[in-house]
């Protein structure tokens, strides 16, 4: 049996005041942005300041067989960074250094705790940027982006995190430091362990550094299109038509009637026409004007009322409506925030499934979508009793979510496009992977973590 007092004593002996056992820190580590809470408080929070701190923590954890939960800013939406009784929280939030920005090779080397937006500001001084653009960019860490395989608004044109990482520095469960990947544009030596770590949600090791693939700032202008439609099905079909026409906008965001109305209420804007949905599209680069004109024609042909803006400030205002979605959902009450992806041609069919589930369960599911890549974020709104400040998700909400996930899989989609599995979706993982692949993936985690101490109970 693990002697928890001895574990904390050993951590303090090795790491001193970087070991935090204050009630506020322990309670804070029980939750993330998913709205869920672990069964109890962890043993301690280690505020690692270096890779050496991470290695020492994991050596102690391995020696004492103590579970470890890695945590960045705690902005995840799948419950992957919640820590519970008997667990060490290994926080990399204090590891915020930018070790290198190389404009010639278009790469940066960073520690995992730096915020996405802070990195963006630093890169902008060099005329560079890191393409991943999660809606949480102002509060989420680069390490968390990598660990969850984060996406965002610009994925359709510029790719997801997996497309923008050349290598990671990983500390394994026994404290060994591995440098995975490469600094070159090409590199196929051995198995691609970097891609394996991306999206692994803390089950394979602790990311302590990353070599990122950068882009030069896109020359030219940005054009913004706001198109309203009578219903979400028409908006979804119109967005698919844009893709089918061979046009590649920088972003294409769809808000259904319920989400659009909630955001207008939150921001004090004039209420939209009942039932109206909105598609917000941006083009960039030298061809921005021509692409915006062509997209406007496609959307108009599919029943949209289109407004094309050449004003950057107006474009940001329109995009700000979309970025206010999560705050608007919080204002509605309790929500279960979900994340499924389907082929872009199936987007309208997925919205039909959501409407069917709303009727079947007599619930509201306001939904936004990254229409450019088929990633939807349905939010199940409900009221429920609260225990320890966290509402319990009613069974009928989980039943509705079950139907939603199975509908996405039937349409050729996936359980998660960017939030990850964590604890929220682990019960459905084998439904998508199949039993044989589920078991293979589980064996892979054991190859990295034979004792099973890394983020136990998450994903699998």
Write the pLDDT tens digit of every residue in 201-229.
Answer: 999 999 999 999 999 987 788 999 999 99
In this predicted structure, the answer to whether residue 261 has a pLDDT above a threshold of 80 is yes
Q: What is the pLDDT of residue 154?
A: 87
Instruction: Give the angle 82-132-135 at the CA atoms, nearest 5°.
Output: 60
Q: What are the C-alpha distances in Å from 73 to residues 140, 161, 279, 355?
A: 6, 17, 31, 34
**CA-based R_g, the chain, Å:** 22
CA distance 355 to 182: 46
In this predicted structure, the answer to whether residue 48 has a pLDDT above a threshold of 70 is yes
For domain 4-91, the CATH architecture is: 2-Layer Sandwich (3.30)
The predicted-structure confidence for 275-313, as pLDDT tens digits, reads as follows 999 999 999 999 999 999 999 999 999 999 999 988 888
CATH of domain 221-410: 3.40.462.10
Question: pLDDT confidence of 250, banded at 50, 70, 90?
Answer: very high
Question: pLDDT confidence of 390, banded at 50, 70, 90?
Answer: low
Domain layout of the chain by residue ranges: 4-91, 98-216, 221-410
Question: pLDDT confidence of 387, banded at 50, 70, 90?
Answer: low
Spatial strand order in the sheet of 177-181: 98-102, 107-110, 206-213, 165-171, 177-181
Question: pLDDT confidence of 334, banded at 50, 70, 90?
Answer: confident
Q: What values do phi and psi take at 37, rounded to 5?
A: -140, 145
For residue 29, what are its two tokens? 């580590």
Q: What is the DSSP string of 214-251?
A: -EEPPPSEEEEEEEEESSHHHHHHHHHHHHHTT---SE
CA distance 301 to 299: 5
Residue holding tokens 């983020």? 455
Query: How confident is the model over 391-409, as a mean pLDDT?
Result: 91
Query: How confident is the model over 30-52, as a mean pLDDT?
Result: 92
For domain 98-216, the CATH architecture is: 2-Layer Sandwich (3.30)
CA distance 16 to 33: 29
Contacts by 386-392, CB closer than 8 A, 24 or more apart: 388/37, 389/37, 390/31, 390/35, 390/36, 390/37, 391/35, 391/334
Q: What is the pLDDT of residue 2?
A: 76
CA distance 121 to 396: 44
Q: What is the number of other CB atoms lying within 10 angstroms of the CB of residue 1? A: 4
Helix ranges (DSSP H) in 184-324 = 193-197, 232-244, 257-267, 288-301, 312-323
The predicted-structure confidence for 126-150, as pLDDT tens digits, reads as follows 999 999 878 788 889 999 999 999 9
Query: How confident is the model over 221-248, as a mean pLDDT?
Result: 94
Q: What is the pLDDT of residue 320?
A: 85
């Amino acid at each position: 049996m693990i002697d928890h007092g001895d574990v904390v004593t050993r951590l303090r002996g090795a790491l001193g005041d970087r070991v935090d056992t204050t009630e506020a820190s322990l309670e804070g580590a029980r939750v993330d942005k998913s709205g869920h809470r672990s069964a109890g408080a962890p043993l301690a929070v280690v505020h690692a300041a270096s890779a050496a701190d991470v290695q020492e923590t994991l050596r102690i954890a391995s020696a004492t067989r103590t579970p470890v939960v890695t945590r960045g800013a705690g902005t995840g939406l799948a419950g992957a960074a919640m820590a519970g009784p008997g667990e060490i929280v290994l926080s990399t939030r204090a590891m915020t250094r930018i070790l290198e920005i190389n404009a010639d090779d278009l790469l940066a080397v960073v520690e995992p705790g730096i915020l996405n937006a802070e990195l963006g500001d630093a890169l902008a001084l060099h005329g560079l940027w890191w393409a991943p653009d999660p809606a949480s960019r102002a509060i989420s860490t680069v390490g968390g982006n990598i660990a969850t395989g984060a996406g965002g608004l610009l994925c359709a044109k510029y790719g997801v995190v997996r497309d923008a990482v050349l290598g990671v520095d990983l500390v394994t469960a026994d404290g060994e430091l591995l440098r995975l990947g490469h600094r070159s544009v090409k590199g196929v030596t051995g198995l691609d362990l970097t891609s394996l770590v991306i999206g692994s949600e803390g089950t394979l090791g602790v990311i302590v550094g990353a070599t990122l693939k950068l882009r030069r700032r896109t020359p030219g202008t940005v054009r913004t299109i706001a198109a309203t439609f009578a219903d979400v099905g028409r908006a979804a079909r119109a967005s698919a038509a844009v893709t089918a026409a061979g046009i590649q906008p920088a972003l294409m965001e769809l808000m259904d009637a319920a989400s659009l109305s909630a955001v207008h209420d939150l921001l004090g804007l004039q209420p939209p026409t009942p039932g109206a949905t909105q598609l917000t599209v941006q083009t960039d680069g030298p061809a921005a004007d021509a692409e915006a004109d062509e997209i406007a024609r496609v959307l108009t042909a599919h029943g949209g009322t289109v407004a094309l803006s050449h004003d950057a400030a107006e474009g940001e205002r329109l995009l700000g409506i979309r970025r206010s979605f999560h705050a608007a959902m919080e204002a509605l009450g309790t929500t279960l925030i979900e994340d499924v992806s389907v082929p872009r041609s199936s987007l309208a069919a997925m919205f039909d499934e959501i409407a069917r589930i709303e009727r079947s369960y007599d619930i509201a599911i306001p939904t936004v979508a990254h229409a450019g890549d088929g990633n939807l974020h349905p939010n199940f709104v409900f009221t429920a009793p609260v225990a320890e400040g966290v509402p319990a998700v009613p069974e009928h909400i989980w039943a509705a979510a079950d139907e939603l996930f199975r509908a996405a899989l039937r349409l050729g989609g996936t359980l998660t496009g960017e939030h990850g599995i964590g604890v929220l979706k682990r019960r459905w993982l084998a439904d998508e992977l199949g039993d044989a692949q589920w078991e293979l993936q589980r064996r892979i985690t054991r190859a990295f973590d034979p004792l099973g101490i890394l983020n136990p109970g998450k994903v699998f």
